[in-house]
Amino acid sequence: IFLLGYLMMSAFFSVGIKAASYLFPEYGKKIYFVYAATMFLFFSFFAQTAHAMGIMSVAGILLLICNMFGIFKLRHHIKFTLDE
């Protein structure tokens, strides 16, 4: 479970960095990195109650929307084929 969570976090982080730098070339990468580091530190020390899960869900949804917007804008540069 730890490995799966770590892989998912790193995948969302790397795609988010690329999407933020594409959407906002000047400050997107810095803002996304600061936001991700702040949320990581905040939730590392926050009690795991219903409030933390609710905030984490909202933060995850906002990050997913940012990533999907970036993927949508980059859809012509992404190859969706499986080459063998």
Note the pTM of the prediction, 2 decimals.
Answer: 0.53
Of 59, 68, 19, whose CA–CA distance to 39 is shortest? 59
77 pLDDT higher than 70: yes
Q: CA 37, 68, 30 angle in degrees (round to 5)?
A: 30
Q: Span 17-33, mean pLDDT?
A: 85
What is d(CA 37, CA 19) in angstroms, rounded to the nearest whole number? 17
